Amino acid sequence: MRGIQKDLKEFHDAGIRPVAISVDSPEDSAKLCSTAGYTFPVLSDPNAETIRRYDLLHTAGGLGGTDISRPAEFLVDSTGTVRWVNFTEDIRVRAKAEDMLAAAKEIH
């Protein structure tokens, strides 16, 4: 997400709106945004309903055994269709901003 924020202007210029989603409460997300300086929407799914619907629930994956979202990225075009997805195999490795920008440029 730091990488997204760093390249946010490029994403916006490409017509892409990054939207982050986690199980954190709006208060925790607000804290994260102010400390990390995120200016794109960061949304809360505390009951993991959307995370479940996207089949991303990582049961007991959080600290203290809480259910969280696994990392995943989806590029959704204006018709609501998924155009690109990324599921990392290792939580330490995330999609590169340049790969996501390249995928975004394929959408007309």
Give the C-alpha distances (Å, rounded to integers) separating 32 from 41, 67, 106. 12, 19, 31
Is 77 one of the binding residues for another protein (CB under 8 A)?
A: yes
Structural contact between residues 51 and 57, judged by C-beta atoms closer than 8 angstroms: yes
Is 104 one of the binding residues for another protein (CB under 8 A)?
A: yes
Shortest Cβ 47–another protein spacing (Å): 10
Nearest alpha-carbon partner for 20 in 78, 95, 79, 98: 95
Where in 4-23 is the site for another protein (CB under 8 A)? 4, 11-12, 14-23
Amino acid identity, position 63: L
Is 93 one of the binding residues for another protein (CB under 8 A)?
A: yes
Is 89 one of the binding residues for another protein (CB under 8 A)?
A: yes
What do you get for the CA distance between the two ends of the chain, in Å?
25
Shortest Cβ 29–another protein spacing (Å): 5
How far apart are the C-alpha atoms of 31 and 11, rounded to whole Å? 23
Is 56 one of the binding residues for another protein (CB under 8 A)?
A: yes
Is 54 one of the binding residues for another protein (CB under 8 A)?
A: yes
Shortest Cβ 52–another protein spacing (Å): 10
